[in-house]
Amino acid sequence: LAVRPFISPFLNESNARKWLLISTGGVIVSLFLYDRARSVEAMTLVRVVHGAGYVVMNTALVALLVGYIPPGKSGQAFGLFSIITLLPYAVIPPILAPVMAWGGGFAHVLDLSALLMALTFPLTLLLDPPVAKAPGPETSGQWRRDILENLRDGRVLLMLFISLVVWTTFAPLFFYIDSYGEKLGISNAGWFFTLSTFAEIGVRVAGGKAFDRHDKPKMLGLGIAWVGMGFLFLGGVSSPVPFFLIGIFLGLGWGVVMPLLTAIVFDISQPRFKALNTNLTMVVFQGGFFLGPLLGGAVLLQWGERMLYEASGLVLLMTLCLMFVAKGRMKRPADIG
Residue 135, exposed/middle/buried by CB under 10 A (0-12, 13-18, 19+)? exposed
Which pLDDT score, from 0 to 100, does residue 227 have?
96
Which pLDDT score, from 0 to 100, does residue 268 have?
87
CA dihedral 300, 303, 309, 310 (to 10 degrees): -160
Which pLDDT score, from 0 to 100, does residue 316 have?
95
Q: Are 185 and 240 in contact (CB under 8 A)?
A: yes
Which pLDDT score, from 0 to 100, does residue 326 have?
66
Which pLDDT score, from 0 to 100, does residue 245 have?
95
**Sign of the Cα pseudo-torsion (190, 222, 267, 207, in order):** positive
Which pLDDT score, from 0 to 100, does residue 45 have?
93
> In terms of Cα–Cα distance, which of 279, 288, 331 is closest to 155?
331
For 299-329, the pLDDT digits (tens) are 999 999 899 999 999 999 999 888 777 666 6
Which pLDDT score, from 0 to 100, does residue 335 have?
45
Distance of CA 35 to the CA centre of its chain: 29
* pTM > 0.85: no
- The DSSP secondary structure of 170-204, one letter per residue, reads HHHHHHHHHHHHHHTT-S-TTHHHHHHHHHHHHHH
**Cα–Cα distance for residue pair 168/17, rounded to 1 Å:** 31
Q: Are 120 and 256 in contact (CB under 8 A)?
A: no
> In terms of Cα–Cα distance, which of 62, 1, 55, 54 is closest to 266?
62
Work out the number of other CB atoms within 10 angstroms of the CB of residue 41.
Answer: 9
**Cα distances (angstroms) measured from residue 90 to each of 93, 169, 191, 209, 276:** 7, 21, 10, 23, 29
Query: Which ranges of the chain have pLDDT less than 70?
Result: 89-90, 93-94, 129-144, 146, 326-337
Which pLDDT score, from 0 to 100, does residue 176 have?
87
> In terms of Cα–Cα distance, which of 146, 163, 143 is closest to 266?
163
> In terms of Cα–Cα distance, which of 7, 1, 14, 5 is closest to 64?
14
**Cα–Cα distance for residue pair 233/313, rounded to 1 Å:** 9
Which pLDDT score, from 0 to 100, does residue 140 have?
47
Q: Are 292 and 170 in contact (CB under 8 A)?
A: yes
